[in-house]
Amino acid sequence: MSSYSGMKPQQQPPPPPPYQPSSYQQQPSSYQQQQQPSSYQPYGGGYYNPQQQQQYSQYSHHNHAPPPPQQQHVQSFDVESQQHNNNNNLYATPFADKYVRAGFIRKTYALLLMQLAFTFGLTFLFVFYPPIRDYIRSPAGIWMFAASWAVGFGTLISLVCCCQAAIRQHPTNLIIMLIFTLAMGFMVATVAAFYNEQAVLIAVGTTFALTLGLTLFAIQTKIDFTLKSGLLFTASLSVLLFALLAIVMQWLLGYSSILRIAVAVAIAGLFSAFLVYDTQLIVGGKHARGMSYTPDDYVAASISLYLDVINIFLSVLSITGAAQG
């Protein structure tokens, strides 16, 4: 025995393995672990649903998501715009491509030349062919002027008020231009038939020279007339009031050739400014900062130039007729 009986005996370390089976009996669990189906394919993680896997297996042939819907192509009849914008689509505006601008100018002036050729050809026929000229000057021929004026003015008002979209749609725009040109051509020809041949020839030559000179001026000048639309509108109202005042004065005081020439000069000057304005809108370049056409406005542009030239011609014709007495 130890000399100190109150000391606890030292604990012995556990014996080395192997150990004897434990006497603890593992109780059977009531939880029945579900066996995975044979078609189960383990995934790397996340929630798994066997029903979804069966559904996915039915559509396993879809390897990729469906492509996004393609942007709808808007058909345009501007051939130059389609050809060159397909090669380079980096332009901010349609007219940034010089080929689009060149095509627009070419179509506009081609239509203008056809309009002027028909109008002046019909004018020469009415002036230089005596049977037609005599019929126009007779009371029986007044209907031709009235009908052509009504159709032309009605077409123009329709374009300004309610048919602006139609002037950009092919071939509706060409049909509208044809109707308007026919009406204006007959109206100008019937007016010219009341003047003598010399006055008409002088007016045609003067109009041609003015049109060419003003077109070159519009291209070369540094003045941007497209920024002067407000000034042109004010000038238009002023000329209109002056013309109405002249009509009243002639009705009260009698005919005056000086007053007639003054009104014609004012109208010719106004439409000369409009010719420069419309030319800069069409040609563009360093001009057309105030307003601009679109590539589909070639018919509207040709009609604008046509009206400018025709009004200059009628004004010059009135001046030459008044000068000859």
The answer to whether position 4 is within a domain reads no
210: nearest Cα among 286, 287, 269, 162: 269
The answer to whether position 151 is within a domain reads yes
The answer to whether position 288 is within a domain reads yes
Give the pair of three-digit tokens for residue 212. Answer: 């060419």
Do 276 and 239 form a contact (C-beta atoms < 8 A)?
no
In the chain, how long is the greatest CA-to-CA distance?
166
What ranges make up the beta strands (E) of 135-287? none
Give the Cα separation of 204 and 188 in Å (integer).
12
Per-residue confidence (pLDDT) for residue 76, from 0 to 100: 45
Give me the domain span that covers residue 261: 95-323
The one-letter code for the residue type at 59 is Y
Q: Buried b vs exposed e over 218-251: b needs ≥16 C-beta within 10 Å?
A: beeeeeebbebeeebeebeeebeeeeeebeeeee
Per-residue confidence (pLDDT) for residue 299, from 0 to 100: 92
Do 126 and 189 form a contact (C-beta atoms < 8 A)?
yes
Per-residue confidence (pLDDT) for residue 89, from 0 to 100: 45
Per-residue confidence (pLDDT) for residue 168, from 0 to 100: 84
State the pTM of this model. Answer: 0.70
Q: Hey, is 86 helix, strand or coil?
A: helix
Total tally of structural domains belonging to the chain: 1
Q: Hey, is 233 helix, strand or coil?
A: helix
The answer to whether position 310 is within a domain reads yes
Per-residue confidence (pLDDT) for residue 290, from 0 to 100: 53
Using CA of residue 222, residue 226, residue 231, residue 236, what is the dihedral sign?
Answer: positive
Per-residue confidence (pLDDT) for residue 170, from 0 to 100: 84
The answer to whether position 84 is within a domain reads no
- Count of C-beta atoms within a 10 Å radius of residue 313: 27
Per-residue confidence (pLDDT) for residue 257, from 0 to 100: 85
Q: What is the pLDDT along the chain (325 residues), one digit of tens a residue?
A: 444 444 444 555 566 655 555 554 555 555 455 555 555 555 555 555 555 555 544 544 555 555 555 544 444 444 444 444 444 444 446 666 678 888 889 999 999 999 999 999 999 999 999 999 999 999 988 999 999 999 999 998 888 887 778 888 888 889 999 999 999 999 999 999 999 999 999 999 999 999 999 999 998 888 888 888 889 999 999 999 999 999 998 888 888 888 999 999 999 999 999 999 999 988 875 655 556 778 888 999 999 999 999 999 999 999 998 887 6
Give the pair of three-digit tokens for residue 182. Answer: 């026919």
